[in-house]
């Protein structure tokens, strides 16, 4: 098999699920004729027709609401948001309607909300968002944020088959930049499991999405200095794989969290709290965060570069922590 891009992995996951299960439909802006703004749904309309690939008006709340209504009749809609920044437009529909249904009135909403997220592509303040933490604070969602084509395909398939609303964030920086050989045919990656990307004994580095690759780059450089970093890809923020995180930290006794989301209120703070509660005596140093600045995502390349974490920042922070 030839290696495929992250984008193609997403497309294949949707294609295969729709071909196998008529309950699966795709709804969103420009997903049909145009095949999606990033071409993630290219060819789906031709294969599955207007009933299953639904172009909508520019109405994010209506997209989410309609997908939710469809799920109540047993369908498994995939709702695409053209850029994930626009998830703010349907915040109420998601947080008050979709997320609370199962808890309040026993109504599962098996739907996936997916879209391109993240920065590093000079998209500016309204096309670069990392919105995951708004929803981490809303009980009811599962939150997936993969970093490889293999995971993107397997996790998206698992998300479509899950009975809960899943927010599936796709880092647009990865769409065409990374390729991977994936096995032919159907497979899924189970929801809620982190994965060790690189083994090490001196410190644990937790990350996800595009920063996963930046972290691995930094880990290579640290390895050359004799610092063996254990790099863990969280893959999902809800459920968070505490077992893998705690297992690694108990081994290395130090933890660094790297995320592209802004620092204050990012997942690193939550992980710090978990470690403080459950692994306090295993820690030989403070939990260290490498994250974006607490600002909107700026447009100019020089500013965005300063805003985002990079391998150098991770290297410096990890080295200091290793020596702590």
Partner 1 sequence: MPASDSRVNTPRLSRQQYLDLYYYMRLNREVEETMTRLFRQNKIVGGLYSSLGQEAISVGTAYALEKRDWLAPMIRNIGALLVKGVPPRDIFTQHMAKYTSPTKGKDGTSHFGDLENLHIISPISMLGDLIPVLTGVAMAGRYLGQKIVAMTWIGDGGSSTGVFHEGLNLAASQKAALVVVLENNLWAYSTPVGRQVPLENLADRAKAYGIQSYIVDGNDVVAVYSTAKEAVERARSGGGPILIEAKTFRRRGHAQHDPAEYVPPAQRAYWEKRDPIALYEKFLTEEKILDPKGKKETDEQLTALLEKEREFAENSPMPPPELAGEGVYCTGPACHDLQPKWERPIDELLPPKSCVEPVWTVEGFGHGKGATGRDAPIHFGDTQAKPVASVKVSSGTSAVSVKKGAKKKSARGRVRQ
Interface residues with partner 1 (CB under 8 A)?
A: 19, 22-23, 25, 47-52, 54-57, 59-75, 77, 92-93, 96-97, 100-108, 110, 139-140, 142, 163-164
> How many whole angstroms separate alpha carbon 120 and alpha carbon 320?
26
- Residue whose structure tokens are 């369908």: 75
> What are the b/e assignments for 257-271, b being 16+ CB within 10 Å?
bbbbbbeeebbbbbb
> How many whole angstroms separate alpha carbon 229 and alpha carbon 287?
14
- Quick one: which H or E segment has residue 231? strand 229-233
> Exactly one of 102, 122, 127, 259 is catalytic; which is it?
127
- Quick one: which H or E segment has residue 179? strand 179-180
How far, CA to CA in Å, does 225 sit from each of 8, 62, 211? 37, 53, 21
State both tokens at 178. Answer: 């990374």
> How many whole angstroms separate alpha carbon 28 and alpha carbon 298?
27
- Residue whose structure tokens are 């196998």: 20
- CB count within 10 Å of CB 91 equals 16
- Residue whose structure tokens are 């795709």: 26
How far, CA to CA in Å, does 292 sit from each of 30, 212, 260, 303, 314? 31, 14, 5, 11, 12
Assess whether the previous peptide bond of 239 is cis (omega < 30° from 0): yes
* SS3 state of residue 206: strand
Q: What is the DSSP string of 285-323?
A: S--EEEEE-SS---SSHHHHHHHS--HHHHHHHHHHHHH
Active-site annotation holds for 137 = no
Contact by Cβ (8 Å): 259, 267: yes
> How many whole angstroms separate alpha carbon 26 and alpha carbon 57?
14
């Amino acid at each position: 098999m030839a290696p495929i891009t992250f984008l193609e992995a997403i497309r294949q996951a949707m294609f295969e699920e729709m071909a196998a299960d008529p309950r699966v439909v795709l709804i969103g802006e420009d997903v049909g004729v145009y095949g999606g703004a990033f071409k993630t749904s290219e060819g789906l309309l031709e294969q599955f027709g207007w009933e299953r690939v639904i172009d909508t008006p520019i109405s994010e709340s209506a997209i989410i609401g309609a997908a939710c209504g469809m799920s109540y009749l047993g369908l498994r809609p995939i709702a695409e948001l053209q850029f994930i920044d626009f998830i703010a437009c349907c915040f109420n529909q998601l947080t008050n309607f979709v997320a609370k249904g199962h808890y309040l009135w026993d109504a599962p909403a098996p739907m996936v909300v997916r879209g391109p997220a993240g920065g590093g592509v000079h998209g500016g303040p309204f096309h670069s968002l990392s919105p995951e933490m708004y929803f981490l604070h809303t009980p009811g969602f599962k939150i997936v944020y993969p970093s490889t084509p293999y995971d993107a395909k397997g996790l998206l398939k698992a998300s479509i088959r899950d009975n809960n609303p899943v927010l599936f964030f796709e880092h647009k920086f990865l769409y065409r930049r990374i390729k991977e050989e994936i096995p032919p045919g159907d497979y899924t990656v189970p929801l809620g499991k982190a994965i060790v990307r690189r083994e090490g004994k001196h410190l644990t580095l937790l990350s996800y999405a595009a920063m996963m690759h930046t972290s691995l780059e930094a880990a290579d450089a640290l390895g050359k200095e004799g610092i063996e970093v254990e790099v863990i890809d969280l893959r999902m923020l809800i459920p968070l794989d505490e077992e893998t995180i705690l297992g690694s930290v108990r081994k290395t006794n130090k933890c660094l969290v790297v995320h592209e989301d802004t620092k204050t209120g990012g997942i690193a703070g939550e992980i710090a709290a978990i470690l403080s509660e459950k692994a306090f005596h295993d820690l030989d140093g403070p939990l260290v965060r490498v994250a974006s600045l607490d600002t909107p995502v700026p447009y100019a390349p020089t500013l965005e570069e300063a805003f985002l974490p990079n391998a150098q920042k991770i290297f410096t922070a990890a080295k200091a922590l290793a020596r702590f």
